[in-house]
């Protein structure tokens, strides 16, 4: 941390080796606390609704929803851990020791990677459902989805362990004073992380969703071509056009939101720089990165009719009634 005039020591008993935190106006500090708490609370609430809905109602125990459940769990953990990063934005000190500093960073990397990783099998699932519907039930089974979810979390743990190996071995390697929590990722590791976390997944997602979009458009056009001589053709044509627009919107929203949330955080590897995770360098981009976990339940679940129904049942506490798990919500 920078030594600023008018700042106070993190550890007054260590005046020569303690970090200093800049003094902020009280109103600014309160505003930042409210903003971070609101984002975290919204993130937790939305993903908790998805988790309760899929876990409680038996009609929702499908392979597709299992993927959504895994995504919601990873995003829920992001929301629960997000307040810790408020200390970065507020310039607070780290009082929990170097091991917990790196350990919490490692945990956050795992969760973020798992969240992104879960988006890939979701894209594959939708690709098979749209482009090969006759064989969907044989290709996408409950067991295969469970295995893919386990692989996703294991790979996230393993690869982040390799990327952060030096910091995990020597937690205080990049700290310049007591009270600092800094994580440095060199250019090579940052480039690998960039490819595995953003370039690889977004390429797969774009390719699959573009294929889904093309198939949806061709089906809509085929539908219109077969109803040209039918009196109600206008109604069906409007429905087909709505299907095209919906497919285009879904594709656009998924890609734009992903890029907006992740590109600022991964700009340093693009620029050939080391990535420094500290208070002064990644406060805003980290929050933007985490906002993706708040938007995921909106993109992947909120627009489903069954999710809106389950939210009403949860909000009205009807899920506490006997046999509510057997409700026909689809």
Q: What is the pLDDT of residue 161?
A: 86
pLDDT one-digit tens code per residue, 63-117: 888 988 998 898 898 888 777 665 555 666 777 777 888 888 888 888 888 888 8
Reference 264, options 280, 288, 283, 281; nearest CA is 288
Task: Give the residues of the chain that fall short of pLDDT 50.
Answer: 1-6, 233, 236-238, 240, 244, 276-281
Name residue, tokens 């590109």: 263
Residue 7 belongs to some domain of the structure: no
Residue 219 belongs to some domain of the structure: yes
Q: What is the pLDDT of residue 177?
A: 78
- Structurally, the chain folds into a number of domains equal to 1
Q: How far is CA 32 from CA 25, 179, 188, 284, in A?
A: 11, 21, 34, 11
Whichever domain contains 279, its CATH number is 1.20.1070.10
Residue 108 belongs to some domain of the structure: yes
Q: Are 7 and 22 in contact (CB under 8 A)?
A: yes
Q: What is the pLDDT of residue 145?
A: 92
Pairing assessment for the beta strands 275-277 and 183-185 based on DSSP bridges:
antiparallel
Cβ atoms < 10 Å from Cβ of 304: 16
Pairing assessment for the beta strands 20-21 and 275-277 based on DSSP bridges:
unpaired
Rounded Cα gap, residues 327 and 304, in angstroms: 16
Pinpoint the alpha helices (H) of 164-232. 165-169, 187-194, 200-225
Residue 111 belongs to some domain of the structure: yes
Rounded Cα gap, residues 263 and 144, in angstroms: 31
Rounded Cα gap, residues 196 and 52, in angstroms: 30
- SS3 of 272, please? coil
Residue 5 belongs to some domain of the structure: no
Q: What is the pLDDT of residue 149?
A: 92
Residue 179 belongs to some domain of the structure: yes
Q: How far apart are the first and last CA of the chain?
A: 54
Residues counted in the chain: 330
Q: What is the pLDDT of residue 118?
A: 87
**Assigned token pair, 7:** 């700042």
Residue 1 belongs to some domain of the structure: no
Q: Are 7 and 20 in contact (CB under 8 A)?
A: yes
Cβ atoms < 10 Å from Cβ of 127: 19
Residue 178 belongs to some domain of the structure: yes
Q: Which domain holds residue 67?
A: 18-326
Q: What is the pLDDT of residue 79?
A: 84
Q: What is the pLDDT of residue 295?
A: 80
């Amino acid at each position: 941390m920078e030594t600023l005039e008018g700042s106070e020591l993190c550890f007054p008993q260590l005046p020569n080796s303690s970090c200093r935190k800049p003094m902020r106006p009280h109103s600014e500090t309160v505003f930042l606390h409210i903003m971070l708490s609101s984002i975290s609370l919204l993130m937790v609430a939305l993903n908790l609704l998805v988790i309760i809905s899929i876990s409680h109602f038996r009609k929702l125990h499908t392979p597709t929803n299992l993927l959504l459940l895994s995504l919601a769990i990873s995003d829920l953990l992001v929301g629960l851990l997000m307040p810790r990063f408020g200390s970065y934005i507020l310039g607070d000190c780290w009082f929990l020791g170097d091991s917990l500093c790196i350990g919490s960073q490692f945990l956050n990397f795992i969760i973020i990677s798992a969240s992104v990783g879960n988006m890939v099998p979701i894209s594959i699932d939708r690709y098979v459902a749209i482009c090969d519907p006759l064989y969907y039930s044989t290709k996408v089974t409950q067991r295969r989805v469970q295995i893919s979810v386990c692989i996703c979390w294991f790979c996230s743990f393993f690869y982040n362990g390799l990327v952060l190996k030096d910091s995990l071995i020597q937690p205080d390697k990049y700290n310049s004073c007591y009270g600092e929590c800094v994580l440095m990722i060199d250019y090579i590791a940052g480039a690998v992380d960039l490819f595995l976390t953003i370039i690889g997944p977004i390429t797969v997602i774009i390719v699959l969703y573009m294929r889904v979009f093309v198939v949806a458009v061709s089906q809509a056009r085929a539908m219109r071509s077969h109803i040209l001589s039918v009196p109600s053709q206008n109604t069906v044509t409007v429905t087909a056009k709505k299907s095209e627009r919906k497919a285009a919107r879904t594709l656009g929203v998924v890609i734009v939101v992903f890029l907006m949330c992740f590109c600022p955080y991964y700009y340093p590897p693009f620029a050939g720089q080391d990535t420094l995770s500290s208070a002064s360098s990644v406060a805003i981009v980290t929050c933007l990165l985490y906002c993706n976990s708040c938007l995921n339940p909106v993109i992947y679940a909120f627009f489903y009719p069954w999710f809106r129904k389950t939210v009403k049942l949860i909000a009205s506490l009807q899920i506490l009634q006997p046999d509510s798990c057997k409700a026909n919500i689809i």
